[in-house]
Amino acid sequence: MQLPRLVDAALDRLVVPGYSRLGYTVRRAGWSTLPTGCLSGRTILVTGAGGGLGAATVRGLVALGARVEMVVRNPERGEETAAAVRADHPGAAVDVAACDVSSLADVRRYAAEVRDREAAVHGLVHNAGVMPPERTETAEGHETALATHVLGPFLLTRELRPVLRSGASPTAPSRVVFVSSGGMYTAALHIDDPEFRRGTYSGGAAYARTKRMQVVLAELLADDLAADGTVVHSMHPGWADTPGVASSMPGFHRVTGPLLRTEAQGADTVVWLQAAAEPGHSTGVFWHDRAPRPTHYLPRGGESPQARAALWTLCVDATGVGA
């Protein structure tokens, strides 16, 4: 039985019940099971797949029959994770590819390799994430969180456009999913200082700002790729117990530990967005626990058309990808 909408919305607004394992457990009771093999024949790329939510996403996708390419910065760690996935899912089609998503040059290299060897790609999950303790820049001069969460994913999506288009059909669109964060609710779209050059730098603030950018960028890419038969969604996983949370937010992890979701619970909606029928019939939606969620809770909280256009221009100018 589906959870009543008013109860579901209340869990969401109260944050702690909705984002914790309690919200997942209550909502899960009304979910249908994804059919075994529903992703057979589909190739899906997952960034940041060496551990945490990325590895859990890989496990969920291969369990449904997908062929998955794990896109990682550290190939050795990626191979260890891939071996563990194969041990749990004998016969799973799992490959490992090296790419630093924060490096635009490396993204171009990797995307060219994918275009050369893959006739079609059916899914792309932007999961790679960072929360730098201090402001750092990539070799190309971009603030690291911005490069990892926004510029790299934008470039990778646009560079893979031909194979995503080839992977789409009238009944089965290609799917791009951004793994954002509930922390994006705390941030506005900071397009006036996207590189965080002004003020006192905070890794948490940079994370929240760029996660907000991801949600808006997903909406913009949804419009951009609609004619290709590619849908684009964003989501947040709730509060999941991952190595990244433990290392980046030790205080939060210590206090909320008993409430945190497992990695598999946090990744559930990512897998569902790649596999279920419902999200294939829409695009540009923000999801949590398999349901659409508002991107703002306060009146007049939405971004102006000018700010949205400025984000697109930032991505185009920084990556050199044509508008």
Instruction: State pLDDT tens for residues 58-114.
Output: 999 999 999 999 999 999 999 999 999 999 999 999 999 999 999 999 999 999 999
Q: What pTM does this model have?
A: 0.94
Q: How far apart are CA 24 and CA 28, in angstroms?
A: 6
Beta bridge partners of 287: 235, 292
One-letter amino acid for residue 158 of the chain:
R
Handedness of CA 40, 283, 311, 235 (dihedral sign): negative
> Other CB atoms closer than 10 Å to residue 313's CB: what's the count?
12
Taking residues 206-232, report their average pLDDT.
98
Q: Which residue has the tokens 């992977």?
A: 167
- Please choose, from the candidates 66, 134, 57, 50, the residue with its C-alpha nearest in 3D space to the C-alpha of residue 100: 50
Which residues have a catalytic role annotated? 207
Instruction: State pLDDT tens for residues 155-184.
Output: 999 999 999 999 999 889 999 999 999 999
Q: How far apart are CA 296 and CA 307, in angstroms?
A: 15
- Please choose, from the candidates 275, 222, 316, the residue with its C-alpha nearest in 3D space to the C-alpha of residue 65: 275
- Please choose, from the candidates 209, 86, 220, 99, the residue with its C-alpha nearest in 3D space to the C-alpha of residue 158: 220
